[in-house]
Homo-oligomer: A and B are copies of this chain.
Amino acid sequence: MTSRKETSGPADPRFFKRAGPFDAAALAEAAGAELAPPRAGAMPAGGYTGIAPLQGAGPADVSFLDNRRYAPLLEQTGAGLVIVAPAFAGKVPAHSAALVTSAPYLAWSRVARLFHPAVPAVAGVHALACIDPTARIDASAEIGPFVVVGPRAEIGAGCIVGSHAVIGEGVQLGRDCRIGSHVTLSHAVLGERVSILPGARIGQDGFGFAVGPQGFETVPQLGRVVIEHDVEIGANSTIDRGSVNDTLIGAGSRLDNLVQIGHNAQLGRCCIVVSQAGISGSTVLEDYVTIAAQAGLIGHIRIGAKARIGAQCGVMSDIEGGADVIGSPAMPFREFFRNVAVLRKLAKKASGSPQGGADKV
């Protein structure tokens, strides 16, 4: 039976392999953090064996605090080792060692990776894959069952292509890409270490049609999708290929699930696009732009470097670099919340006054 009791510790061995144990020095080195031994008691003789959240951790577990919201859990944790920022070092229980660092989330990430390293490719093409004889697949790549690889496609060293993925005619994958199950890739050129989660659709026809005498006529979409190194694209996201120019996803960018990228859009380096956001055709994001969940950008605009677009924001015109905007239409954060507060005040006044009657409108 499935029950809430099942929702316990991380790294269920049915799903995750585990390395280790590791001693505190090895963890400190991986984390790039400074080790503070426990003020009372000793570190476990056999080393630390795994990771756990603050509230479920034991003496052989490593845990961490990153979000101030969860600080009360720190003082009660049973974890043998805790990764914390300097500001919280004093709150670590006496029985726990601490790894102190100004970047606890990064340190946590590296420690977790040490215990649970990424699974490498198992070289070989599954017998049930369907590979065009003109495709070039590096001998070290792993190709799953029911995969289709089209004519002249190229798959680099160390790539893992999950079951049912389609690597269309002429598509190129640089080394060490991870293509999830059920992904469709066409008209696309990928760099190295690109990760695409299950069900993403990349390279299909953009939404282009002209009004003809008999109805809409489809406009040929003759561009590509170019994805640079180290990009990650979420599950069931859609990236249309360019109509004339290419659609471009800049190096290091991270796209979440169910994101839509229209044809000819150009994302700079290290952009973040959170789930269910949409970027319309030919819009340009400079580097380090963040688009929060469910935000939408119209086409043919430019978002300056390091701008941050808030959740559900509706962006109808260019945004300057470094700006923080929210609302629909987009406006500076401060202005948005001032507007909200002023309207609330005016509405209260209107409904309270004798002539009031907002409720009667």
Contact = CB atoms under 8 A, between A and B. Distances in A.
A350 B345 contact: yes
A310 B248 CA distance: 27
Interface residues of A, number: 134
B109 A210 contact: yes
A108 B212 CA distance: 12
Interface in A324-361: 328-329, 331, 335, 338-347, 350-351, 358-359, 361
B229 A2 contact: yes
B256 A258 contact: no
A10 B222 contact: yes
A154 to B, nearest CB: 10
B130 A145 contact: yes
A343 B342 contact: yes
A274 interface: yes
Nearest to A229: B2
Interface in A35-64: 51-53
A244 interface: yes
Contacts of A140: none
B294 A296 contact: yes
Contacts of A252: 215-216
Interface stretch (A21-29, A88-96, A275-283): A275-283
A359 to B, nearest CB: 6
A178 to B, nearest CB: 9
A6 B338 CA distance: 45
B242 A257 contact: no
Interface string A193-217: 0010111010011011111100111
B312 A216 contact: no
B347 A2 contact: no
A242 B148 CA distance: 31
A169 interface: yes
Nearest to A246: B7
Given A199-B201, A294-B314, A338-B359, 13 more contacts: A1-B192, A10-B223, A14-B169, A105-B219, A130-B145, A164-B182, A182-B184, A197-B204, A201-B235, A215-B251, A234-B238, A339-B347, A344-B361
